[in-house]
Structure 1
Amino acid sequence: MGRLIQIAGFSALLLLQGGVPADEDHDRVYEMRRAGDILPLEKILKISRQHLSGKVIEVELEKEDGVLVYELEILDDRNRVWKMNIDAVKGLILQVEED
């Protein structure tokens, strides 16, 4: 199950830089990961689970104020949806809030 979430989450990654086709976004994300410019999704998911348990239902990679951020939506065991932002380079949790 965890592997399925990782695959689904990775396929949902977006790098929002305006008007770029999704395939190019995925290629860019792959290259940044390969070059070590961002942490792998597996590491980000591990960080998120240490803070909040539940099912990851969506993952996006966005640029916010010049910082690359993984934005996760997590469904907890009480059916509440949480938004968690994690710095894609440092792995620091930037924000957790109920969505």
Structure 2
Amino acid sequence: MKRTVFLASVLTLLPLFAAGQPPAVAPDFEIARDAVERGDILPLAEILNRLARVHPGRVVEVELEYSKGILVYEVELVTEDGRLIEVDMNAATGDILGVEEEEDDD
């Protein structure tokens, strides 16, 4: 099945923290781009391709955060059966760290 992933919604990159200090005043996307260029993290496209093989669905939000000493892509997506889940992936390796189903606020 041919699958195209659109990030039509918000793509939010949060500031990356090194040694507990915020990085210089570079915009978030530049910090993420530089981390990819240095080989510190995988490109978002590769992360989304890996994720689609395990959890197919429509991506609605992506955040890059520093958590527990590593950079983590937090990907929120709607599964093919209509559930909203958040998948945390190690930004350097692409390994899935956790999957959480979002609760309805109704």
Instruction: Please confirm whether the aligned pair reaches a TM-score higher than 0.5, indicating the same fold.
Output: yes
Counterpart for residue 15 of structure 1: 15
Counterpart CA distance in 1 for 2:25 and 2:81 is 33
Give the structure-1-normalised TM-score. Answer: 0.81
Counterpart for residue 43 of structure 1: 46
Counterpart CA distance in 1 for 2:5 and 2:37 is 19
Unaligned runs of 5+ in 1: none
Computed over aligned residues only, the root mean square deviation of the Cα atoms, in angstroms, reads 2.6
- Residue in structure 2 matching 1:30, options 22, 33, 36: 33
Counterpart CA distance in 1 for 2:73 and 2:5 is 18
Q: Report the CA distance between 1:13 and its aligned residue.
A: 2.3
Shift in alpha-carbon separation, 1:75–1:21, aligned structure 2, 3 A:
farther
CA contact (8 A) 2:90 2:97 kept: yes
CA contact (8 A) 2:60 2:77 kept: yes
Q: Paired residues, what number?
A: 97
Alignment of 1:1-99 (within 5 A): 2=4, 4-5=6-7, 11-17=11-17, 24-99=27-102
Deviations 1:30-81 (A, max 9, x none): 1111111100001100111111111000000001111100000010123210
* Large movers: runs of 4+ above 6 Å: 18-22
Counterpart CA distance in 2 for 1:50 and 1:77 is 12
Q: Report the CA distance between 1:22 and its aligned residue.
A: 8.8
Shift in alpha-carbon separation, 1:95–1:12, aligned structure 2, 3 A:
same
Higher helix share: 1
Unaligned runs of 5+ in 2: none
